[in-house]
Amino acid sequence: MRILVLTQYFWPESFIINDIVRTLDEQGHEVIVATGKPNYPDGKVFDGYRAAGTQRERYLGRIEVLRVPLWPRGQGGAKNLILNYLSFVFSGLLCLPWMLRGREFDAILVFAPSPITQAIPAILLKWLKRAKLALWVQDLWPESLSATGFVRNSYLLRAVGWMVRGIYHQCDTLLVQSRAFVEPVAHYADRAKVQYYPNSMDISSSKAVVPVPSELLELLEKYFCVVFAGNLGTAQALETIVQAAVHLRDDPHIRLVLVGSGSRLSWLKAQQQVHGLDNLVLPGRFPMEAMPQIFERASALLVSLNNEPAFAQTIPSKIQAYLAAGRPILACMNGEGARVVCEARAGLASPAGQVLPLVANIRRLHALKDSERAVMGGSGRAYFDAHFEMTSQVRRLAELLNA
């Protein structure tokens, strides 16, 4: 198949779409990627790129990548985020038809974490190229806007809902990363269009090994380390993790290690100082290729989300990564993510936003024998192989795009 992947986020940013594209290429499909300038999650355009102008390059030396200008998301704030979202839409509408002139496609796939607006240029390209359009929904709009507090005005949320309805109407297929997304998406679209297609994870051993600081590796091996990995933003219930660290600071054996960066990293550092939390470790962000080394040394892996209905319907991508790592999981969240962890018998779950149940689960996991934690990790890995292994999932994706 000839497939155009359109997404606001792509390599060198760390998203699963990178491995999806690589696997589609390895399975014999002709793939072109249309994207923006990399600036997630820190909000600054990566070295070697500039916000203005278009750019062409090759991913892995063989997959063509077209980049349109955008406004960097900055260090948070509604103004920069809105400009970031809108700039990709306008740049995509203006630049991509010209950059893709003379190219034909069988299908267009939009990888759509927030914002859903990134699908708008794909709608134009669908009609210009006479290709089928599939939207892979990663975040529920307008629900996630309300859940993060980004939009609270009921009239504006209703207007966003009408926009979402219009975008869904133009799509031939709507792929949803969680079974709990099916009904909310069907509220705005024809139910027959909606297909469950979960996130997957590449666990091939051929990836380059990236050095990890020796002091971090020593910390992971010396203490019972509960590792959180990923974006440190408004949705991740970081207040709950900080309060858990406060309750656990008198235990000399336990450390909470938050690997990543994001809009709330400065707040976390301030809380670390205010409460004197030597047990809260903030080593910064590392490339995706470095994470297996960190995961395999972690005593447990933590995933947390705020107590919001939209988040209860979401399965964060880090859950697949945690399952693949074969380590016990602590889920501090409601709904689908917690269900997967419990169904896989891969760890312990506690309600979103509740500090004491999380602390109790950390202590409970710490008290288990190594062999008992190993059983949890092995069960999680078996569940991953059965439900989220990338090679088989990408074959199914091609079938869905070709249907």
DSSP 8-state secondary structure symbol assigned to residue 67: E
Q: What pLDDT was estimated at residue 205?
A: 52
Contact at 8 Å (CB) between 248 and 273? no
**Range list for CATH 3.40.50.2000 in the chain:** 2-200+389-402, 214-387
Looking at the structure, give the CATH architecture of the domain made up of residues 2-200+389-402: 3-Layer(aba) Sandwich (3.40)
List the structure tokens of 211: 């050095």
Q: What pLDDT was estimated at residue 244?
A: 98
Contact at 8 Å (CB) between 97 and 125? yes
Q: What pLDDT was estimated at residue 208?
A: 57
E strands present in 221-279: 224-229, 254-259
Neighbours of 192 (CB within 10 A): 9
Fold that domain 214-387 belongs to in CATH: Rossmann fold (3.40.50)
Average per-residue pLDDT for the chain: 93
Neighbours of 378 (CB within 10 A): 14
Q: What pLDDT was estimated at residue 207?
A: 55
Tell me the mean pLDDT in the region 368-384.
96
CA distance 347 to 333: 13
Tell me the mean pLDDT in the region 362-375.
97
Residue 204 has pLDDT above 80, yes or no: no
Residue 243 has pLDDT above 90, yes or no: yes
Higher pLDDT, 26 or 150: 26
Contact at 8 Å (CB) between 67 and 57? yes
Q: What pLDDT was estimated at residue 248?
A: 98
pLDDT bracket for residue 182 (50, 70, 90): very high
Residue 214 has pLDDT above 90, yes or no: yes
Q: What pLDDT was estimated at residue 54?
A: 96
Q: What pLDDT was estimated at residue 76?
A: 65
Higher pLDDT, 113 or 94: 94
List the structure tokens of 398: 């091609």
CA distance 198 to 102: 33
Cα torsion through 27, 10, 297, 336, rounded to 10? -80
Q: Which residues pair with 383 in a beta bridge?
A: none
pLDDT bracket for residue 74 (50, 70, 90): confident
Whether cis (ω within 30° of 0) applies to the bond prior to 97 is no
